[in-house]
Structure 1
Amino acid sequence: MLEGFVPFPPEFARRYRERGYWQDRSLAQEFAQAFARHAGKVALVDGDRCYTYADLDRLSDNLALHLLALGLKPLDRVVPTLPNVAEFVILYFALQKIGAIPIAALVTHRYQEISQFVRLSQARCCVYPVSQGDFAFGPVVDRIQHENDCLRLRLVLGPAGPGEHSLPELIETPAPGDRAALRDIRIDPEDPCIFQLSGGTTGIPKLIPRTNNDYAYNSKVASEVTRVDGSSVLLLVLPIAHNLPLACPGIQGFLLNGAKVVLHANTRPAEMFALIEKHRVTHLKVVPALLIRLINDPDIGRHDLSSLRLIQSGGQRMQPEVRSRTRRLIPSALVQENFGMSEGVLMFVRHDDPEDVMMETCGRPVCPDDEIKLIDDEGREVGPGEVGELSCRGPYTLRGYFGVPEYNARQFTPDGFYRSGDLMRQHPSGNYIVEGRKKDLINRGGEKISAEEIENLILMHPAVQNVACVPMPDPDMGERMCACVVLRAGASLTLPELVDFLKAREIAKFKLPERLEVLDDFPVSTFGKVSKKSLAEMVASRAAAA
């Protein structure tokens, strides 16, 4: 067993097997059946490139053999920071075939994040594009490699430079060895198949181990609730490694069902509309900020979007008016609100829910053995209709973050319930309503930003005496970050200066504050702590008046 991994207790594992949630097959075995059953069908479209199920099987086999020859082995960790391209999908299946574990990094991550992932996971391999915009990955990964002895292998999405191997060449060039050798690799279905990333409140993201057993079930049950079948077509524009686009049901669920996935690397509405019309897309994944942009774009009436059957929204709460306007503009599509977490439990609104339930709630759990408790600060269950912290356990909810036993002792109850930090109440229908969060996070268009992480960096600025980062409401992104600062005597600071300072710390762009408030002092609670609630209210008021 991988050191630092917290397995499901044996009595729960036995229950989940008996009830059919766990099939005791690796993801590689699950997809081997799909690749064989749907061999001639189109599985994946990336621009002008088109791949059948047989193509994905053959190319991922070939890449897997190359990776074995380069020294990767089962349970080795790999950090891919790739955009929405076919190479990510081929790499993902190749890693599953050799039992290596990808970390769900993003192409927007930079030195600060990538180096943390490598250090936390002791990754042996990084996979990255040559560049994104004006950012070159190679020099940064070279630096990380010199700082971490564990990192031995570097794959680049393009021509290889010194110390690199070209990912496209490894995919296409015949590999040494026989494909049959891959069938001899033994993968324990209870081992991790991926590390998703937490939206944790500390400066260091936590690694979420998802096992072969639980992640396969996660995608299968999400497929049922979203009515995915062999005729379904998914347009995927959200970041490809996130839990929702990858597995809820995402790439995994669609390909397990013989459906088709269309990849696209940006969220420009006109391009998305054209792809929906061209490929007769049936399913679309969005965050509310993206859906708001789509329904307000003038091009929405210039394309035939009648193939859309379901628009799946996650990441943050959607306002009823957005859902109503979408229904008027795209009457063929159900806007399906869902609440999910990379740690596990999924809640979906159902197709047959009453109208008021669809408008007001984020759904209910997808599995009969999803155990939900809403608890107060002392861990006691709250009364019906009262707000409490969501705590949960079940056949696809983790039992511990990777390698952080002290943190796990705080985040999990003694009987194994995960304390999510999300505040909810139960609707009379049995569905749930999100009421906020206990975690100190800013939810910018579905990307969760740790306030503490950015505050720690801002405190390094010589002009700053104290800082508190708070969310401010935004009609497009849901929330944006405002940095409230108390400056040292005689110092001055502007937002552009602060942004330039943070850029030099090499963090992802989406984490940069978008407003600065300079204050003489911070409001405090009755316990003497900085009152972020008061700060957020002040910022919201000032922003509205501006």
Structure 2
Amino acid sequence: MTVTLHDLLPARLRRSWAVDAAVPDLDVYSLYRARQIADPHRTAILDAKGKLCYTAMDRKVRSLAVGLRGLGIRPGEVVAVQLPNGRNAVIADLAIAAVGAVALPFPVGRGSLEAECLLRRARAVAVIAAVEHRGNTHAADLYALSPTLPALRHVIAAGKGGTAPEGTIPLADLLRSDPADFVAERPDPDSPARILVSSGSEAEPKMIAYSHNALAGGRGNFLGSLLPDDTPPRCLFLVPLASAYGSNGTAVTLARHGGTLVLLDHFTAEAALAAIREHRPTHVLGVPTMVRMMLERLDAESTSQDGTASPDELPAPTALVLGGSILDETTAEKARRAFRCPVVNLYGSADGVNCHTGLAMEPPESQGPGVVAGRPDPQVAEIRIMEPDSDGLREAAEGAVGEIAARGPMTPHCYVGSPDLDARYRTPDGWVRTGDLGFLDKEGVLHVVGRLKDVVIRGGANISPAEVERELTAHPLVRDVVCVGVPDELMGERLAACVVPHAAEQPTLDSLCELLMERGLERRKHPERLLLVGELPLTPAGKPDRKAVQKRCAAEAV
């Protein structure tokens, strides 16, 4: 049975955005097809295999759509995708949209237990997975799970010819279907198109259903606000296309804006800098940790004596767009100097919130605590600050700190297979409760102060790890840092700092606390444990893996 995906936003409000042209009111494949007709030879993809133009990719999309339909994939059914960044991931995205099905992408590297959870709750009828990627054998692993997943009918294996595990269907066979047999579905633009996956703070990953209009429209308006003119963007995605952040790839960069995707199947600082030099992207999309790694690589290049290119030779993008975790001003300023372009602080989540600081070279001046997240755009998501009331929630007083809530053209339908999350995070009139704390200043600029759940409680006192991390990045010996709570018999929890040193010289706990004193952070918020590491562990989506950090800090921090 197909999973039920209710739209928790009032239908009249959803339709009003289409009437007002805030969304294109076309399904994702139809948008892509219109872009292909308008400029058939424009480059759609630049990946490890080279260039692929809009028309050549459309033929592959049509072939795969015919193949999927031949397997019995019907409109409204869920098809999962676990592929690295590359043309196959994009072709799968568009083909699933073309047959009217719902895509459920999730990044390579996620283990079989998490994959089983996603496929079971979404009742996925098929999954397209890599035969092998960086030691992972996802297609075989997912096929082994199929007896426990009664809805799963097909495992489609993407790999070199003849390598598909027994029992799976080679993707190459489906791509040999005759594209002339293709007839596109025309799904309702307000019907579900994609399920975004977010690890969040829940025990199991959250899955959030988005419509064609919410993806290409609401999320598309976000990228549109970062385009200085009508020139189609060339976007280098350092994050997986299968992540929530990566949903700005196929549906937004290609289908909505007719741009080009520059893709790395695996992030390294060296590969990212090489892609910037070779392909000259207009927009580089990543997370702050990735940029800190790139900045360190640039520093190493500038001091090398072997003739390696210097940082000044980097072509300047239109913007460096950083989201996924808090962007501190130290990192932002270093990145502005190194890349010679605006650094956009993107505050957003899979749950349905988005706000950013825009293309100004200098960031907005802060008028209070927290991180400046920019002025909300109602064409993407209107933002309110809410506080508890006897009847539920009410809008907070002007300038007061409260829970950030969002509603607008990018608002998703619902959480997938999780009515408890719908009840907890959605209001009856469609607002999304983010679980984040913030306020709107007198200029209407959003400040993000912290998270309701990401709080360390030391002896009854609350500490926001994000606040401490933001200040510690100013330390000259700190390249990256994550702060977490570790269990303590006396205090309940103590704050630990996991630090990647910036140089051979290593910071001490005393030097970190001395910096925090100088920057005015009260002593009770200082870390009491320190763990030095060569690199932060990252989730498959490219964000710092706080659970892994917490586990290591509990065992190793001193």
**Shorter-normalised TM-score: what interval?**
0.7 to 0.9
Aligned amino acid, residue 338 of structure 1: L
SS of the residue corresponding to residue 30 of structure 2 reads helix
The answer to whether residue 413 in structure 2 is matched with residue 410 in structure 1 is no
Alignment of 1:417-496 (within 5 A): 417-440=431-454, 473=469, 478-479=481-482, 484=487
Q: Deviations over 1:302-346 (max 9, x none)?
A: 252123121001112211111111222222x11011111112231
Alignment of 1:25-44 (within 5 A): 25-44=26-45
Which residue of structure 2 lines up, in the alignment, with residue 464 of structure 1? none
Aligned amino acid, residue 52 of structure 1: C
TM value normalised by structure 1: 0.79
> Distance between the aligned counterparts of 1:327 and 1:354, measured in 2?
9
Structure-2 change in CA distance of 1:113 and 1:324 (3 Å): same
Deviation at 1:260, TM superposition (A): 1.7
Structure-2 change in CA distance of 1:481 and 1:81 (3 Å): farther
Which residue of structure 1 lines up, in the alignment, with residue 381 of structure 2? 370
Which residue of structure 1 lines up, in the alignment, with residue 115 of structure 2? 114
Which residue of structure 2 lines up, in the alignment, with residue 457 of structure 1? none
Which residue of structure 2 lines up, in the alignment, with residue 401 of structure 1? 415
Q: Does the 8 A contact of 1:482 with 1:514 survive in 2?
A: no
Structure-2 change in CA distance of 1:50 and 1:121 (3 Å): same
> Distance between the aligned counterparts of 2:325 and 2:156, measured in 1?
34
Which residue of structure 2 lines up, in the alignment, with residue 289 of structure 1? 289
> Distance between the aligned counterparts of 2:546 and 2:68, measured in 1?
33
Aligned amino acid, residue 287 of structure 2: V
Structure-2 change in CA distance of 1:516 and 1:267 (3 Å): closer
The answer to whether residue 152 in structure 2 is matched with residue 148 in structure 1 is no
Q: How many residues align?
A: 470
Match of 1:323 among 332, 337, 345: 332
Q: Does the 8 A contact of 2:237 with 2:285 survive in 1?
A: yes
Deviation at 1:61, TM superposition (A): 0.4
Deviation at 1:201, TM superposition (A): 2.8
Which residue of structure 1 lines up, in the alignment, with residue 253 of structure 2? 254
Which residue of structure 2 lines up, in the alignment, with residue 345 of structure 1? 353
> Distance between the aligned counterparts of 2:339 and 2:179, measured in 1?
51
Which residue of structure 1 lines up, in the alignment, with residue 96 of structure 2? 95
SS of the residue corresponding to residue 338 of structure 1 reads strand
SS of the residue corresponding to residue 126 of structure 1 reads strand
SS of the residue corresponding to residue 398 of structure 2 reads coil
CA RMSD of aligned residues (A): 3.0
Deviation at 1:195, TM superposition (A): 0.5
Alignment of 1:71-82 (within 5 A): 71-82=72-83
Structure-2 change in CA distance of 1:231 and 1:17 (3 Å): closer
The answer to whether residue 105 in structure 2 is matched with residue 104 in structure 1 is yes
Structure-2 change in CA distance of 1:109 and 1:328 (3 Å): same
Q: Deviations over 1:37-57 (max 9, x none)?
A: 121111111124210010111
Gaps of at least 5 residues in structure 2 are: 303-308, 457-464, 473-477, 490-541
Alignment of 1:174-213 (within 5 A): 175-176=177-178, 178-179=180-181, 181-183=182-184, 185-213=185-213
Aligned amino acid, residue 282 of structure 2: T
Match of 1:514 among 541, 549, 552: 549
Match of 2:166 among 155, 162, 167: 162
Structure-2 change in CA distance of 1:477 and 1:82 (3 Å): farther
SS of the residue corresponding to residue 450 of structure 2 reads strand
The answer to whether residue 310 in structure 2 is matched with residue 299 in structure 1 is no
Deviation at 1:364, TM superposition (A): 2.2
SS of the residue corresponding to residue 388 of structure 2 reads coil
Structure-2 change in CA distance of 1:235 and 1:518 (3 Å): closer
> Distance between the aligned counterparts of 2:317 and 2:200, measured in 1?
34
Deviation at 1:62, TM superposition (A): 0.6
TM value normalised by structure 2: 0.77
Deviation at 1:426, TM superposition (A): 1.6
Structure-2 change in CA distance of 1:480 and 1:403 (3 Å): same
Structure-2 change in CA distance of 1:243 and 1:369 (3 Å): closer
> Distance between the aligned counterparts of 2:379 and 2:122, measured in 1?
33
Q: Does the 8 A contact of 1:482 with 1:516 survive in 2?
A: no
Deviation at 1:122, TM superposition (A): 0.6
